[in-house]
């Protein structure tokens, strides 16, 4: 015989989930030279922007440095280290599509492999952010920024090509930091423009 335990709360009377105390991951879309998005805490929806001001290689990984802000509050010198990427979908950027198709023993030759591949998403580990500076109580000591590239302007298209070329140079089995140099210089020129 089935006996219901009336001492346990039902789904209707059970307490809701406890608010998160730590922020793990945020989504952003590249717009102009920055990554913009929003995340929700127990108290509000927060719109943020990470605006890189410089780029360099650290241990053969791309590292962007810039400002993280929510509204008028900001934290300077936040670093974003690229830990992984995902290839782009759709039509290749014209600067990449015009490159010759190369055969690779690891991949079948298609319109978007090898030198014609391009980055569509970038996954960054942010340096620890003092959330109190932003007016938040949530722990932002280890946040991953998931940046989607879907260019709608010339600067966004140019940055997508540069990100793709940097990734092609240093995020492979055999890295070539020297090959990434000119692309880093070009990326820094764009980031320094007002």
2: burial class by Cβ within 10 Å (0-12, 13-18, 19+)?
exposed
Q: In the structure encoding, which two tokens stand for residue 14, read together? A: 């059970």
In whole angstroms, give the CA distance from residue 17 to residue 189.
46
pLDDT at 97: 54
**Cα-based angle 32, 38, 160 (whole degrees, multiple of 5):** 30
pLDDT at 138: 93
**Average predicted confidence (pLDDT) for the chain:** 85
**28, β-bridge pairs:** 37, 147
Dihedral of the alpha carbons of 71, 77, 82, 86, in degrees to the nearest 10: 20
Q: Which residue has the higher pLDDT, 87 or 91?
A: 87
pLDDT at 11: 65
pLDDT at 111: 47
Read off the pLDDT of residues 27-76 as tens digits, 9 standing for 90 and up: 999 999 999 999 998 888 999 999 999 999 999 999 999 999 999 999 99
pLDDT at 181: 94
Residue 101 clears pLDDT 80, i.e. is over it: no
């Amino acid at each position: 015989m089935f006996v219901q335990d009336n001492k346990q709360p039902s789904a209707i009377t059970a307490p809701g989930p406890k608010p998160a105390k730590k922020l793990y991951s945020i989504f952003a879309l590249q717009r102009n030279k920055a990554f913009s998005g929003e995340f929700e805490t127990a108290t509000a929806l927060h719109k943020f922007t990470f605006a890189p001001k410089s780029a360099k290689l650290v241990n053969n990984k791309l590292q962007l440095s810039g400002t993280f802000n929510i509204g008028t509050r900001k934290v300077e010198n936040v670093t974003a280290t690229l830990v992984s990427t995902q290839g782009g979908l759709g039509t290749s950027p014209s600067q990449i599509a015009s490159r010759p198709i190369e055969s690779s023993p690891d991949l079948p030759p298609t319109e978007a492999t090898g030198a014609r591949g391009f980055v569509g998403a970038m996954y960054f580990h942010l340096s620890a952010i003092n959330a109190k500076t932003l007016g938040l109580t949530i722990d932002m000591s280890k946040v991953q920024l998931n940046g989607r590239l879907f260019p709608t302007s010339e600067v966004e298209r140019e940055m997508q090509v540069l990100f793709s070329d940097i990734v092609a140079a240093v995020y492979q089995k055999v890295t070539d930091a020297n090959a990434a140099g000119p692309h880093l210089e070009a990326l820094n020129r764009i980031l320094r423009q007002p």
